Amino acid sequence: MSADQSTKTFVLKGVGVSPGIAIGRCYRFDPLGSQISFYKLKDESLVPKEVQRFRKALKESEEQLLDIQKNLRKAKITEPVYVIDVHILILKDKMFSNRTVKYIRDQGINAEWALRMTLDHYKQIFEGVQDDYISSRISDVQYVVQRILRNLTGEKHEIVWEVGNNGVIVVSHDISPADTAQMKLDKILGFATDSGGRTSHTAIVARSLELPAVVGLDDITHYVRTDDEVIVDGTAGMVVINPYPDMLKRYEEKKRHYDVANDEYLKFGKLPAVTLDNYEVQIGCNIEFIEEIPSAIAHGAESIGLYRTEFLYIYREDLPTEEDHFNNYRQVVTNPNLSSSTIRTFDLGGDKFANYQKQSKELNPQMGMRAIRFCLKEVEIFKTQLRAIWRVSALGKTKILFPMISSVEEIREAKKILEEARQELIEEGVNNIPEKIDIGIMMEVPSAVVIADKLAQEVDFFSIGTNDLIQYSLAIDRANERLTYMYEPLHPAVLRLIQNVVEAAHQAGIEVAMCGEMAGDPLCILILLGMKLDELSMNHLAIPRIKKIIRETTMEEAETVLNKALSFSTAPEVRSYVQDYMVNRFPEEFIAEED
Amino acid sequence: MHARAAASFVKVAQQFDSKIYIERDGQTVDGNSILDILTLACPYGGKLTITAEGTDAAVAIKELEKLIENKFGEE
């Protein structure tokens, strides 16, 4: 492509769902090619042949989907395979095919046109349905129509792997499991899509392959064509189309830094987090999807310190079954590279459950009927998850973590239900249910911190959730942008709360972990080390750097920094002291943030 | 009805020669058509009437009843 005047640079902002920088040529993945022609058949004698052509495309589509389904099952991808079942049943739906055939016959039009009319017909019907879930199922019909059209036009397969030997950046409206099943994933450098969020299929695939991805770009497909130069910055959530030379150079430089830093740091990931004076901290990783486990381990996670289970409930219409839970958890706890896995019971409000939506409109959901409060009310939903956790605990070292505990009564009630779930399993004859499981609570509500000594008598470990603890204790709504300046992990009150939790835990002889963002913040690491937290659990990318700093310091130094930090009365004083200290002491670790 | 449940229903219904119908609020649809069932938009906990006509009607009804009792045979 020549650098002509018409090549315009576009910068689009979306949601970065998988970090890193990818630079390459665009491959516009469009399941529905734009070269579809609609025409009237020349005369009636052509109708039977056209109907036959349509039926053949139906058959081919079905065979392809069956193939994909088989491969998905083999690959043990956790995406619901039933979606493809639904697509196959639509293909085989007589109402659907008869209508299309009728359009071909009655109007003497080609199959593409008739199919288009059938789609429009269903669009109208689905739009008329009150239920949002049902009306959005038109996307399934659309998907099927696209596949048939592709077969009609003779484009048998998507051709991602035939474009460019250096790999491509896949740009699409959205990407479904069936799409990725057909792509040569090793030829892909990154993803950019119009729709989607952190839990969309694109995001999950990108993270599991450690490829940069930005989703939710709204209309990138309108701006970019196959073979355009594209930069995907998954860390910043940005995509640049046709970058001008200087910009491209800057990004290439940035990418090189990123890659080198990554390789360099990965070495530290493999080493234990031991200080020079032999104090060891357990380093865990926070995950949301089982696909994240390989990168967690590659970056040096020794355990899963926080497995968030909310994903199992979101983006689906029905409740996850005990088997859904079990199948996911099993893949976490049986991983031989992890010393233990902490499963946190779901932290969701009623708004995520179809049956409760109406009654659960809350003014302040952050302080509403959610997490353990919701679970103690909806015991049956809660028990489904608890039963699965009991069952996997027989297969590998499992810990259970209850979120948002604010009183002793709540944890006692949760433990009672946990034991009931165990008894039920035993009564049903389920084998190998252990006697006991390590029980922990999230320390994220200030009242829990104040009575930490009492709570410590009830459980086996604490895990400090700094994100919520900071927002609740400083009384700031994290969603309120005007207050973000007040969100300060180094606020003297926050430091004292954390210290209080650690002391109460150790006095009672139980372990204490931290799984909030603060645990992976290199700026805070000496302070946390000085407090003697037993485990720090963080985003996988943070692990190598945290380990590196721990390995270059001593407990003595950490305690000195902690004591000095605790001596200040204001947050700005603490921050400026810690920042100066860390930048001077570990210049290499803090330079990168300057640019 | 949810897509997964609708898919399970159609898969069972297709095993029989009998014609199977689902009725809700006076609207009747073909139990073999996933699109029809979806657009019936039966909410969770909603009431449906299922009828079958044909030689294996009795067995069909029994199997479909079993499916619904098992909450659509979640795998």
Tokens found for residue A160? 């991602």
Residues of B in contact with A131 (CB under 8 A): 41, 43
Q: Which two tokens stand for residue A121?
A: 């017909």
Query: Which of A86, A126, A354 is closest, CB to CB, to B3?
Result: A86
Are A129 and B2 within 8 A, CB to CB? no
pLDDT for the residue numbered A560: 98
Asked if the C-beta of A125 comes within 8 angstroms of chain B's C-beta atoms, the answer is: yes
* Total number of residues shown for chain B: 75
Give A187 to chain B, closest Cα distance, Å. Answer: 33
Chain A: give the shortest CA distance to residue B31, in Å: 10
Residue A547 · residue A268 · CB < 8 Å: yes
Active site residues of A: 201, 515
| Strand A398-402 with A438-443, pairing | parallel
Question: Which of A178-187, A196-205, A538-547, B64-73 shows the lowest mean pLDDT across its residues?
Answer: A178-187
Nearest Cα residue in chain B from A126: B39
B28 at the A interface (CB within 8 A)? no
* Any A CB within 8 A of B4 CB: yes
Q: Above 70 in pLDDT, residue A34?
A: no
Structure confidence at residue B75 (pLDDT): 44
Burial of A222 (0-12, 13-18, 19+ CB in 10 A): exposed
Query: Is residue A262 packed enough to be buried (19+ CB in 10 Å), middle (13-18) or exposed (0-12)?
Result: middle
A129 touches chain B (CB under 8 A): yes
Q: Per-domain residue ranges for chain B?
A: 3-69
In angstroms, the separation between the Cα of residue B10 and the nearest Cα of chain A is: 8
The answer to whether the CB atoms of B39 and A86 lie below 8 A apart is no
- Joined together, the tokens standing for residue A125 give 């019907």
Q: Quick check: A82 and B3 CB within 8 A?
A: yes
Is A93 near chain B, with CB under 8 Å?
yes
Q: Whole-prediction pTM value?
A: 0.66
A66 to chain B, minimum CA–CA distance in Å? 15
The partner residue sitting opposite B36, judged by closest CB among A95, A129, A324, is A95
Q: Is A137 in contact with B33 (Cβ distance < 8 A)?
A: no
Nearest 10 degrees: Cα torsion B32, B37, B42, B43: 100
**Contact A438/B at CB under 8 A:** no
Task: List residues bridging with A283 in a β-sheet.
Answer: A536
User: Which tokens is A5 given?
Assistant: 């005047």
- Interface contact flag, B74 A96, Cβ < 8 Å: no
Report the distance separating Cα A62 and Cα A68, nearest Å.
10
Instruction: Please indicate if any CB of chain A lies within 8 Å of the CB of B33.
Output: yes
A346 contacts A411 by C-beta, under 8 angstroms: no
What are A450-485's pLDDT values in tens digits?
999 999 999 999 999 998 999 999 998 876 778 878
At residue A576, the pLDDT reads 96
Q: How far is residue B53's CA from residue B58's CA, in Å, rounded to a whole number?
A: 9
Q: Does domain A44-152 have CATH number 1.10.274.10?
A: yes
- A24: pLDDT confidence band, cut at 50, 70 and 90? very high
Cβ pair A456, A505 in contact under 8 A: yes
Q: Which residues of A350-377 are buried (b: 16+ CB within 10 A; e: fewer)?
A: bbbebebeeebeeeeeeebbbbbbbbbe
Structure tokens at A6: 């018409």
Asked if residues A384 and A328 have their Cβ atoms less than 8 Å apart, the reply is: no
Please tell me the number of Cα atoms within 13 Å of A317 on its side-chain side. Answer: 21
Question: Greater confidence, A357 or A527?
Answer: A527
Residue B59, chain A, CB below 8 Å: the answer is no
CB of B10 less than 8 A from some CB of A: yes
What is residue B43's DSSP assignment? P
Write down the domain spans for chain A.
10-27+167-259, 44-152, 270-594
pLDDT in tens, A68-87: 887 777 665 545 677 888 99
Facing residue for B43 by CB, picked from A85, A131, A321: A131
Nearest CA in chain A to B10: A89
Single-letter code of the amino acid located at A485: Y
Query: Residue A177: pLDDT band by 50, 70, 90 thresholds?
Result: low
pLDDT, averaged across chain A: 87
Helix axes A47-75, A111-127, angle to 10 degrees: 60
Q: How confident is the model at residue A591 (pLDDT cuts 50, 70, 90)?
A: low
The CA distance from A10 to A33, in Å, is 24
Nearest by CB to B75, which of A131, A317, A323?
Answer: A323
Q: How far apart are the first and last CA of chain B?
A: 17
Q: DSSP class of residue A22? A: E
- Cα separation, A459 vs A355, whole angstroms: 32
Nearest C-alpha neighbor of A210 from the set A184, A239, A185, A229: A185
What band does A184 get if pLDDT is binned at 50, 70 and 90?
Answer: confident
Amino acid in position A468 = D
The pair phi, psi for residue B43, each rounded to 5°, is -75, 165
CATH label, B3-69, candidates 3.30.1340.10, 3.30.750.24, 3.90.79.10, 3.40.718.10:
3.30.1340.10
Closest approach of A144 to chain B, Cα-based (Å): 12
AA letter at A141: V
Contact B19, B51 (CB under 8 A): no
pLDDT in tens, A378-429: 999 999 999 999 999 999 999 999 999 999 999 999 999 999 999 999 999 9
Residue of A nearest to B43 (CA): A131
Is beta strand A238-241 parallel, antiparallel or unpaired with respect to A229-233? antiparallel
Nearest to B74 among A86, A321, A354 (CB): A321
Amino acid at A56: K
B20 touches chain A (CB under 8 A): no
> Measured between CB atoms, does A120 come within 8 Å of chain B?
no
CB burial readout A418-449, b (16+ within 10 A) else e: beebbeebeeeeeeebeeebbbbbbbbbbebb
The 3-class SS string of A127-176 reads HCCCCHHHHCCHHHHHHHHHHHHHHHCCCCCCCHHHCCCCCEEEEECCCC
Q: How many C-alpha atoms does A190 have within 13 Å on its Cβ side?
A: 27
Query: How deeply is A241 buried, as exposed, middle or buried, from its count of CB atoms within 10 A (0-12, 13-18, 19+)?
Result: buried
Q: How many other C-beta atoms lie within 10 A of the C-beta of residue A246?
A: 8
Closest CA to A515 of A439, A446, A444, A447: A444
Tell me the H-state helices in B1-75.
3-13, 34-40, 57-69
Residues of chain B in contact with residue A326, where contact means CB-CB under 8 angstroms, are none
Measure the CA–CA gap between A418 and A212, rounded to whole angstroms. Answer: 40
> CATH for A10-27+167-259?
3.50.30.10
Chain A nearest CA to B7, separation (Å): 6
Edge-to-edge order in the sheet of strand A10-13: A10-13, A238-241, A229-233, A21-28, A168-172, A188-193, A213-215, A15-18
Q: Which residues of B touch A122 (CB under 8 A)?
A: 35, 39
Residues of B in contact with A126 (CB under 8 A): 38-39
Reply yes or no on whether the pLDDT at A29 is more than 50.
Answer: yes
> Which band of pLDDT confidence, cut at 50, 70 and 90, is reported for residue A3?
very low
Contact A176, A143 (CB under 8 A): yes
Q: Are A281 and A533 in contact (CB under 8 A)?
A: yes
User: A81 to chain B: nearest residue by CA?
Assistant: B4
Question: If you write DSSP's letter for every residue of A266-317 in order, what string do you get?
Answer: HHHHTS-EE-TT--EEEEEEEESSGGGHHHHHHTT-SEEEEEE-GGGTTT-S
pLDDT of residue A464: 98
User: Which amino acid is residue A227, in one-letter code?
Assistant: D
Pairing of strands A303-308, A341-344: parallel
Interface A–B counts its CB contacts (< 8 A) at 67
Q: What pLDDT is attached to residue A32?
A: 57
Task: Give the CATH number of domain A270-594; options: 3.20.20.60, 3.20.20.450, 3.30.230.10, 3.40.50.720.
Answer: 3.20.20.60
Is residue A110 within 8 Å of A50, Cβ to Cβ? yes
Mean pLDDT of A226-233: 90
Q: Which residues of B are catalytic?
A: 2
Residue in A255, A253, A283 with CA at minimum distance from that of residue A268:
A283
List for chain B the helix, strand, coil content (%; round to 5). Answer: 40, 20, 40
> Is the per-residue pLDDT at A162 higher than 80?
no
The reply to whether B5 touches chain A by the CB within 8 Å rule is yes
Using the beta-carbon criterion (under 8 Å), do B2 and A321 form an inter-chain contact?
Answer: no
Residue type, A232: V
Cβ pair A95:B3 closer than 8 A: no
High-pLDDT (> 90) share of chain A, %: 55
